[in-house]
Chain A
Amino acid sequence: MYTRGQVRGFLHLYIGEEAIAVGAISQLLPHDYIVTHYRDHGHALARGLDPNRAMAELFGRIDGLSKGKGGSMHLFDTEKGFIGGHAIVGGQFPLAAGLALSHQYRKSDGVCVVFFGDGSTNQGTYHEVMNLAAVWKLPILFFLENNLYGMGSRFDRVRAGGEDFYPGAATYGIDHAAVVDGMDVMAVQEATKLALESIRSGNGPAFIEAKTFRFQGHSMADPVKYRDRSETETWEARDPLNTFPRDLLDQNLFTEAELAEIRSSVDAEVAAAVKFAEDSPFPPDEELFTDIYA
């Protein structure tokens, strides 16, 4: 759709990282909040946001989640507790702290999960909010999707602190910090379950680092000149979209026919979403001036 010109602007694909969103978000309660970065399609779909309206948003149409005003990087659905899609790297951390604070203030058992990439850990807001969350014991799960690259810069070109980020959490007083294989959906699910249990029992924030890789470039504009194809191939061999179904077959939990049926239903869902988006009109002119003030 991007190459056909239906989707414009920046588009950051989540391909390769799906096991994280699916595994982590499966463990959330309906009243939990999710805040994420601009590579947000995976989280949105995993949280059950309407794929039709998500696609319409990418198309810039009035039936999009944000009436076409946010675009790919800014998906929102308050009914699902999905508070963006944020496109300033690291800008989402303070927002997540405030959402977590609202749960604490109201003595709710709700949690806020904030997804972020390795690139954002070099922003001040990352450090500020880790500290604030620990001092106030906020119910927040810091979920690092470490895909090794911040745009075109591999982590070790912009960080001297080594390949693991999760040990740093302890320096802020965040004791529950774990690392998990981000290509393994079941492992992500289990790690998230444990972290949420810790948070909901009042221990304050937790931290998970998932090791992962984006198979595509940073955005559609990225020719990927900064890394060897072989590195991508190594990770592609562990694509959760292949390995997980294989595991299910090996364990006799699903049959080939059942998996094929799931795949074709997904294809149909995508086709329907594209159709929905194509049929939705562009926003009327007056929408330029609405939603600025409540």
Chain B
Amino acid sequence: MTEITFRQALQRGLREALDADPNVFLMGEDIGKYDGAYAVTQGLLEKYGPDRVRDTPISEAAFVGAGVGAAVAGLRPVVELMSMSFSLVASDQIVNMAAKIRYMSGGQLKVPMVLRAPTGGGVQLAATHSQSFENWYASVPGLKVVTPSTPYDALGLLRSSIEDDNPVIFAENALLYATRGDVPDAEYFVPIGVADVKRTGTDITLVGWAHGIVTLMAAAEKLAETGVSAEVVDLRSLRPLDMETVIESVEKTGRALVLDENWRTAGFGAEIAAEIGYRSSDYLDGPVARVSGTDTPSPYSRPLEQLGIPQVAWVIDEIEKTYGI
């Protein structure tokens, strides 16, 4: 075991893939000479050269779609978007090309591409740079969407994503890059589509993903102080979605709270809450509790911005309101 950051975990995964498979190459805006906007690809151009670490023009539709083209030709591109917010510019290539070309060709083609992007808000980048569209992509058949919360999961999921023969949206919450965690020195994989119980408990199930897990783990600590034993389930991927692990936990604890850091209306948390209610209502002591970001654009000013982002206290309050514990 070695303690490394989320960022180092990702870089390790990229280096391994570049070492292991000549068909793997990276491309994106300023991932080479600049070393990457979030420094995930730092030093890689020097080591692997410009054919395998390709700086692109600021043309998201062009280079995301080029990733699809290279992937259907049998290469394994790992494409970086500088922000998940910028994926909208390339969303036609993601939704209409990457996700559809296999189906529309009757299974003749496959798209082994990973699309990495920093995502989320909380660092005063204002409304257009603080969004998490992985939630949207999670509703598109043909895509996989992974949302790691720890360095361990980031590395294990990146390995699985690069080996996957389907287009994978790899969402990296930017608040996590500097977080630290233990990672085994030996190779391991985290399968896509398997949720993880990050903390066991008996009184309530807290469901979330990515940076939401940081908030839920802190909330679980706080709840323990008042004698409430919370179980934290980390979805780890939004598509495929492991509802079995969630349901198993909910039916054990009899209470559920879903944290979605993004917009509440038609958000991914709504899907989880609906599914829990549909499948496990007989086991629940009350309605499924929901905490989500406010239905607002993300403002620049720090106090205003923080008002819109779910805090530990929101989780505690919501549990008390819903279940009286």
Contacts and interface: CB of A to CB of B under 8 A. Distances in A.
Contacts of B93: 91, 94-95
B103 A76 contact: no
Contacts of A99: 69-70, 72-73
A291 B103 contact: yes
B204 interface: no
B110 A69 contact: no
Contact of B105 (A84, A100, A135, A293): A84
Q: Most B CB atoms within 10 A — which of A66, A76, A99, A101?
A: A101
Interface residues of B, number: 43
A230 interface: no
Contact of A132 (B56, B68, B73, B77): B56
Interface string A57-85: 00000001111111000101110000111
A94 B66 contact: yes
B1 interface: no
B70 A76 contact: no
B104 A128 contact: no
Contact of B69 (A97, A124, A293): A97
A293 B142 contact: yes
A64 B104 CA distance: 11
Contact of A105 (B57, B70, B92, B104): B70
A88 interface: yes
Contacts of B69: 35, 83, 94-102, 112
B106 A65 contact: yes
Contacts of B297: none
A292 B72 contact: no
Contact of B106 (A66, A94, A95, A97): A66
Q: Most A CB atoms within 10 A — which of B65, B69, B103?
A: B69
Contact of B61 (A84, A100, A125, A136): A125
B107 interface: yes
B108 interface: yes
B57 A94 contact: no
Given A70-B106, A291-B106, A292-B103, A95 B97 contact: yes
Contact of A102 (B70, B92, B110): B70
A93 interface: yes
B107 A102 contact: no
B37 to A, nearest CB: 19
A88 to B, nearest CB: 5
B318 interface: no
Interface string B74-89: 1101000000000000
A67 B108 CA distance: 10
A252 interface: no
Contacts of B106: 64-70, 76, 291
Contacts of B111: 294
B107 A84 contact: no
Contact of A88 (B54, B56, B96, B110): B96
A77 B106 CA distance: 10
Nearest to A103: B73
B177 interface: no
Contact of A128 (B54, B61, B72, B166): B61
Contacts of B77: 98
6 contacts: A65-B106, A66-B108, A67-B106, A97-B65, A112-B69, A291-B105
Interface of A: 33, 35, 64-70, 74, 76-78, 83-86, 88, 91, 93-103, 105, 112, 124-125, 128-129, 131-132, 135-136, 290-294
Which 4 A-B pairs have CB atoms at the shortest separation, nearest pair first? A98-B69, A94-B65, A102-B73, A66-B106
